[in-house]
A and B are shown apart, each in its own frame.
Chain A
């Protein structure tokens, strides 16, 4: 790992121009990520940024980090593989609510239980925007879309409660209504030693509902700090997380005050333990060859 240097937000901005719809909340999210990375100070070549598929999953390309716009819903397993292969990299994963909580929903639990040292940023716009406005896992019940002409009959997934229930050590929410706060939250998530989840309420200007646009979000937003919430209190975090969809609480819901070892730490420990009895590399094949 290199020593941290003085990096500025612009050092993480690539030459690729975002093609999101003008007014999209993701423009602010990428700015928040630039700022957070500048505050962390790791050079771009020591950062791997993995995404799935969707509007928001284009985000790695807009940074100067190594990027992988991967397969729908599979950003987390790929990010995990990268982290295991090269533990010194700072690994970020990102995507939308559909990518993370529908097709990729099954992966989150396993990264949480392994406590992979990865920061996962979900840009939650409650719709499938890239494919022109279908219901997504976080769409509100009753939502009318092209795939729910008479209104959605399903309860939305609550991303905050979902990850808290699986035992994530760091859970936060941010919004483009507060870029300074978003950058600070993402920075804190990256600094957390283990799996960190940041849900960003990022409005879709093309298919999103009026109430989910910036003005609507501002009206229901409230800082967790101003509420006097103690981020070490997991049950209080779960209680607040239940208001997802009605209130938009911003900041850290939960930060494990005593983070358990990461999967990477345990792997390293196991390797150290076993290495004394390990065969030299040139003799490993002998195990498979009958004499």
Chain B
């Protein structure tokens, strides 16, 4: 998780909303990438779960976008994707070929925890009351997202005990 050039103390509500949309966009794109990776590596169940996360992140992004348009219309955006990295998106190294649905859900859960930590850590620096209220709302939503993933985890049958490492080719004599 990294941020660059964000002045939280002077963050306006428009910028805060745009930032939140970018966070959701990044997560959505990363889950799309992961789903494609899983398709390519014959891991359909993990792919299916990552597509479920794509839909969720897209939905959150659209909700935020609607609020942004309602409040600020199409006023130009002054925050960019270059300012954020891996806020709610799972880390690239969280994906593995042949990962089980459980591992996929655990990766998503870790991302929701990470996003929650981001909003919590930003709160003390915020001065604008509306921005603070938005970040508190987003922080609480991350808890709801964690619960949502945990619900999915609870639906799974017990783990087989196999890890993705069991499917990796051992070095073979040449």
Contact = CB atoms under 8 A, between A and B. Distances in A.
B161 to A, nearest CB: 20
Contact of A146 (B4, B43, B93, B172): B172
B169 to A, nearest CB: 6
A115 B92 CA distance: 35
A214 B86 CA distance: 14
A38 B82 contact: yes
B37 A22 contact: yes
Contacts of A17: 36, 40
A207 B93 contact: no
Contacts of B173: 146, 149
Interface stretch (A96-104, A153-161, A178-186): A178-186
Interface string A1-26: 00000001100000001110111110
B97 A22 contact: yes
Nearest to B39: A17
A22 B41 contact: yes
A134 interface: yes
Interface string B86-111: 10000111111101000000000000
A225 interface: no
Contacts of B36: 17
Interface residues of A, number: 34
A21 B41 contact: yes
A205 interface: yes
A67 interface: no
A86 interface: no
Interface residues of B, number: 28
Contacts of A18: 37
A179 B93 contact: no
A175 B160 CA distance: 34
Interface in B1-39: 2, 4, 33-34, 36-38
Nearest to B80: A8
A35 B91 contact: no
Given A21-B97, A22-B99, A27 B33 contact: yes
A167 interface: no
Nearest to A19: B40
Contacts of A137: none
B82 A206 contact: no
Contacts of B94: 23
B4 A180 contact: yes
A146 B171 contact: yes
Nearest to B43: A22
Interface of B: 2, 4, 33-34, 36-38, 40-41, 43, 81-82, 85-86, 91-97, 99, 168-169, 171-174
